[in-house]
Structure 1
Amino acid sequence: MAITLYAARGGGSAIVEALLTLTGQEYRVEYFSWEDLPNEELLAVNPLGEIPALRLDNGDLLTETAAITLWLGDRFPASKLVPPADDPVRVQFLRRLVWLVAAVYPTFTYGDHPERFVPDKTDAVQLRETTDLRRQALWRQLEKETGGPWICGGRRTALDIFIAVMSCWRPRRQWFAAECPQLFAIAQRVDQLDTLKKVWSRNRLPQT
């Protein structure tokens, strides 16, 4: 059974699609339209109705981008996407991986569809605005902590793929170029990886 990625073009699943490609693992992608999410088919795979979700070659289901990233690192250590347990960079990698999904991701969860969380239109507009500002502050924080050509210094890891994709979302690449030039430079380096050209094309990335 081939690995199947349940995805939506340009979303968080693009991160996993890129990581799968870098491992050399064969996989198939089932794209959902954003307008159709969540739907019954996806809910049967992931009760949260969110992408990405991964059906492994043994039939098991795996969700959550960080969990998928760590699984790929364990299964394909030669890809060097995830530093091994005895690597000094491991602690930094884990902290930033969880930070991205626990701190930055939720600003989209609440900001993209504020009407799901607050019934009043005025409150919904305010929630969108405050989550956007919170996200910008978080990116500036990471910019200050970034000192090498990649997020973890001198080597490329899965985190750099996160940056390349997530910098295409609000406030988008033009903002990063002006406000977080180091993160912008990382994203551009990832953009140029020949191995990922087809992934970016399928996902209509990068976007300004």
Structure 2
Amino acid sequence: MIIEEMMKTEVQTLTEEDTIEEALRILNAHHIRHIPIVDKDDQVIGIVSDRDVRDASPSVFEQDPQLNQLRNRLGSIMTSPVITVHPLDFVEEVATIFYEHEIACVPVTSNEKLVGIITEKDLLYTLIQLTGTNVQSSQIEVKVPNRPGMLPGVVDIVGNRKLNISSILIYPYKPDNHYKVIVFRVQTMNPNPIIDELRAADYEVLWPKAPGLSL
């Protein structure tokens, strides 16, 4: 999945000359946490978060709050330069950017102009879609040798039962890198017949556990 398919295109923006008070108003009115700061050409020059605004605002515990702090320019508190992504970037690549840079939002730009925005909430929702947990299904995990041709054998067993596969993920088997784990979700509430066939074909099913086995 590419970013263009999941990004929000209706983005609230401000300029570096706008005030902290205006940012606070927009954050509260639209229930958002980040505001890209753009120049006259709609190019992203900074970003302001709700935390930035909160830290720069007078404390509610102050006996004599300095309300003029709210009139300060956003240019004085914005984060710059800003990490941006492109609409044709893959969601997996953007998730890596979020993780490595410990950020919760990135503007999406094309030809150096702002076209959208992606937040960590958008990524989580996309993960739900990619893993198929948003539809009724059963998860099955199969341990297989780490060599070519293992996936088709597992998928054929599911296909023979005329069942839809919601998602397939493959990840390393941590105790031994000679193996991998195939995780797939099948649109059935009774996966036992598939599990029985997998075991009959000498596949090791890690989940669901066989009756009587400890977790």
**Structure with the higher fraction of residues in strand conformation:** 2
Shorter-chain TM-score bucket reads under 0.3
- TM (norm. structure 1) is 0.23
Larger radius of gyration: 2
Larger RCO, structure (CA 8 Å, separation 6 or more): 1
**Structure with the higher fraction of residues in helix conformation:** 1
- TM (norm. structure 2) is 0.23
